[in-house]
Structure 1
Amino acid sequence: MQTVVGYYDWQSGEKSVSDKEFFVHCSGRYRLIHKESFKTERPNGANNYQLLYIADGKARFRLEGKMHILEKGNCVLYRPQEEQYYYYFLKDNPDIYWVHFSCKEENEFLAKTGFLEGKIYYVGTDNSYVRIFDNMISELQLKQPFFEEQLQFLIQELFIKMGRNQIRENTVFESYNKEVEEAIRLFHLAPESDFTIKEFTKERGLNYYRFIDTFAHYVGVSPRQYIINIRMTIAKDLLMNSMFQISEVARLTGYENPLYFSRLFKKTWGVSPTNYRKESNPLLLIEHESNRKGFKS
């Protein structure tokens, strides 16, 4: 059996408790390599919370008198004093990560991320889970400066990622595909570029109209409008800098035609770029005029 563990201190374990918002007592990883089986039976449970994540293979849990065979991508959350019966068998190739932690009862954060109801949660397989568990184990082993604070951030990051993936696994969100996410990343990476949705969908073998509908359904606006919104938000910031003329702001946000840019800006914000600059900071106009005259002389 391969065991990797980290403890806050050598007394930390299932009996440890803390009154902090989030506190990690210990974390580890179990893999059966030669041992035929491994079992944990705690009729009185633990004094703290325990989360077990099946990174690979299968594990067996007896919950409320019923045996569950859970495959990779599932996790189980035990609350304080809940009985714990779980079993690993070599034939199932289990690879299990776990963490014991304390948090306040009826924790708002756990509720928001969907971990206050039920015991079994399908969160999918995600390499980031393993990274976070490995980092928690390392922090507990090395105990570098501010490791307690880092552990709090890590376990909250774990629940955020698991909660987010739970939502995506729901049937309502099954169409929220990676193509939409990739498009959003590209829009923010270079919003001024000449980005065409038709080329994007063609390169990925997607139906153009279906992608447009999917994007609008989950984001709330069309891809074209999303790009305009990003550009107009950037334009507001650029207009606050007196070094840029309106035509330069237009070009920096992807528009060669300043008049077209101005129409879009006014349609978005209800005010022209010139008036926005004047209303936001009248001194910028004075400074801009002074710089322009000084440059000419």
Structure 2
Amino acid sequence: MNKEILYNKGIDTICLVVDTKYSEAEITKLRATYPVLATVNKVTITNDGRYKKIVFQPSNYIDRTKLLDNGDLFYQCIKESLAILDGTVISLDRIDIAMDSKEKLNNYKQLARLTILCAASRKNIRKAFTVKNLFDLKEKTVKLSSDRFVMTFYCREDKPLHEAEFRIEIRYQKLSQSDWENEAKEMVGKTIELFTNLEDHVKEVEDVLIPVLIDLYQEEIQEGILLNFSGFMDKYSDFFYTKRIFSEVYKLSELKGNENNWLKKFRKNRPTALSFDSKHSVKQLSSEVRKNLKTYLKTF
């Protein structure tokens, strides 16, 4: 990664538990009189039946083609909607913080996976490091999830009116704070903290992946699934996020020559093969995320 790739940032959606008499159907009818109610994206009833869970997405009212990057305007749309609905906020349930890019996710998918695993290390989400999850590749999404936290890199191809190509989204869920305005801003600050020195977790990711890949190579060679190291690299190159991972696995292969010479030969007929990311790549992306979110916090 040698350039900035993010161009927009902000809270995308907030889900509030609200005491209001209006149903989703009634709110839809009210939009003809109160256009700001386009801010209301979804309404469900809480498990106890007492309140409504209302998902607010002000960009639906302001400009559907892009993420709303003004915090004051975001809050204004929600407050106006609550006033019309005579709604009292009981608590903040969920918040989605997003950053958009006009680049193709496919060009940054390896960095996305490495970043996701660094976040898993930081937040101690150990299930991300199971063999099943390590090798669970999705075509258009890179995702980390736990009970209260979700981090996703995903394509925006399903949103043809939206100008972004891909989005980084951080979701905090199962929240319960009644002071939703301050809590939402605190979650933005929490995301800045998440990306602070995130690159320090690259080594742990490497240390997890190296023995997994070595065991996998030895197993598939012994069982005759693969014939040589080149075949293994063709099959699993997507998981060699850094040069160190490659070097350590190469040392235990049947090959005895210089690893850089082997790489040069391997890449000759595979122009896009084995483009390594690094601690520096994660640091660059993390720095950009922090810079964008710090700028966003100034809009409140």
Give me the TM-score of the superposition, normalised by structure 1.
0.26
Give me the TM-score of the superposition, normalised by structure 2.
0.26
Larger relative contact order (CA 8 Å, sep ≥ 6)? 2
Who wins on radius of gyration, i.e. which is larger? 1
